[in-house]
Amino acid sequence: MTHPAVIDELMTLVDPGKVLTDPASLEAYGKDWTKHYPPAPTAIVFPKTAEQVQAIVKWARRNQVALVPSGGRTGLSGAAVAANGEVVVAFDYMNQILGFNEFDRTVVCQPGVITRQLQQFAEEQGLYYPVDFASSGSSQVGGNIGTNAGGIKVIRYGMTRNWVAGLKVVTGKGELLELNKDLIKNATGYDLRQLFIGAEGTLGFVVEATMRLDRAPRNLTAMVLGTPDFDAIMPVLHAFQGKLDLTAFEFFSDKGLAKILARGDVPAPFETACPFYALLEFEASTEEVANEALATFEHCVEQGWVLDGVMSQSETQLKNLWKLREYLSETISHWTPYKNDISVTVSKVPDFLRDIDAIVSEHYPDYEVVWYGHIGDGNLHLNILKPDSMSKDAFFASCAKVNKWVFEIVERYNGSISAEHGVGMTKRDYLGYSRSPEEIACMKAIKAVFDPDGIMNPGKIFALE
């Protein structure tokens, strides 16, 4: 436990009142959306400037205090959890958009800018920030960079990584680095910017990010299609990709839809009950494109791949169709799900899902399983719901066995144990299923360069040594 005198010194480094130690703040800022680890930080510190972040890191080095970065705390891997007396560095007061360049189409953000704030700012400029997901109303840009956030538009726009033009970071040595200087072309050796993206704060903390924007999409239109079985989803994807530039291709199962409809605030897409549903989106920029989409839908029906479908005709209908997919995570959180975030190359998805589904239903026939995900980019979310009668501890202990089986299949298919949620604490013991021992050794060596004292979010990605 950090000595009170050391916390007193921390208070001198930031503005008055910007170090909190009351139990409610420790509880709130010590955790993310995972429910596995009880939060136990020593203090929460709120810097306002990059210089204050540097001072905090230098203080932590001197006193050998571990730091955990905290953004919107919407993470699903425990990467922003402080369970071991760490000091949490919260970026809530570094939440300003500092600049916009219309020629470069870039926005300079402090790390605490909320994702939606950036999306709305882009809209006000007639542009578009395309990384989007259900938690965009609370997640922060710094956290998105730390986890290389993905979401629902990756099939067209890629991950957060693609939209980071430049970064300013404070490393675990307390140095301020300016990485890539917002350039499009820069062939001057290692791109250190990319190392900090997806590093979960283990190398240093982002104190400023220049994000790229894109042109605004034209007349986004969604279709929800019901399929007779899982195997029909991929031919549907293939058929639509052959004709249209999709901006999204998601899927969910009937069990997921049932949970959404039970909320009572989202209309059913259509009457026909189907075991699986695909949600696709495209820009209906001309009437020809919309007609092409309808013709492709009819082709899919003729082939027996689609049983029923609907196409949005208005902004409201578009939003309602998206709610069927976007509300899933929050809706099923009521059942404290065991969650998985796995990926393979798109062509392997059908066999991969079948193998995992078989193993889960063989060993856990009584558990309710809800599948959904970003199937157009090969990312599947397996969610096993906790029976109401079972304790959280007993449920997670029983699901720990699933991890091994699922990750063995992931390894066999050359996939990833975490497509977008990150490794954090929930998957650190399984990293070897996706990364070779040689790769992990390189990763640890890189961490030692930027964080020689091991104070930057220790115990995340790799186990504590």
Distance in Å, CB of 151 to ligand MLT, minimum: 7
Q: Which is nearer to ligand MLT, 290 or 369 (by Cβ)?
A: 369
Distance in Å, CB of 288 to ligand MLT, minimum: 32
Binding-site size for ligand MLT (CB under 6 A) equals 6
Does position 346 bind ligand MLT by CB under 6 A? no
Does position 381 bind ligand MLT by CB under 6 A? yes
H/E stretch holding 212: strand 204-212
Strand segments (E) across 112-174: 127-128, 164-171
Beta bridge partners of 380: 342, 373
Q: Which is nearer to ligand MLT, 104 or 368 (by Cβ)?
A: 368
One-letter amino acid of 86: E
Does position 259 bind ligand MLT by CB under 6 A? no
Sign, CA torsion 33/37/38/40:
negative
CA torsion, ordered 323, 324, 325, 326, to nearest 10 deg:
20
Distance in Å, CB of 458 to ligand MLT, minimum: 25
Rounded CA-CA distance 244/280 in Å is 11
Q: Which is nearer to ligand MLT, 134 or 213 (by Cβ)?
A: 134
User: Which of 55, 66, 134, 369 lies at the binding interface for ligand MLT (CB under 6 A)?
Assistant: 134
User: Taking CB positions, which residue lies at the least distance from ligand MLT?
Assistant: 329
Longest distance between any two alpha carbons in the chain, whole Å: 74
Find tokens 């994000």 and name the residue.
211
Does position 10 bind ligand MLT by CB under 6 A? no
Helix (H, G, I), strand (E, B) or coil at 43: strand
Rounded CA-CA distance 456/275 in Å is 45
User: Which of 329, 343, 416, 426 lies at the binding interface for ligand MLT (CB under 6 A)?
Assistant: 329
Distance in Å, CB of 43 to ligand MLT, minimum: 30
Q: Which is nearer to ligand MLT, 205 or 371 (by Cβ)?
A: 371
Does position 416 bind ligand MLT by CB under 6 A? no
Rounded CA-CA distance 283/412 in Å is 37
Which of 136, 134, 175 is closest to 333 using CA atoms?
Answer: 134
Q: In the range 216-235, which residues lie near ligand MLT by CB under 6 A?
A: none
Does position 418 bind ligand MLT by CB under 6 A? no
Q: Which is nearer to ligand MLT, 49 or 331 (by Cβ)?
A: 331
Rounded CA-CA distance 420/151 in Å is 8
Does position 115 bind ligand MLT by CB under 6 A? no
Q: Which is nearer to ligand MLT, 172 or 422 (by Cβ)?
A: 422
Distance in Å, CB of 238 to ligand MLT, minimum: 22
Rounded CA-CA distance 209/193 in Å is 10
Distance in Å, CB of 462 to ligand MLT, minimum: 23
The set of long-range contacts for 434-439, using a CB threshold of 8 Å and a minimum separation of 24, is 434/410
Interface with ligand MLT (CB under 6 A): 133-134, 328-329, 339, 381
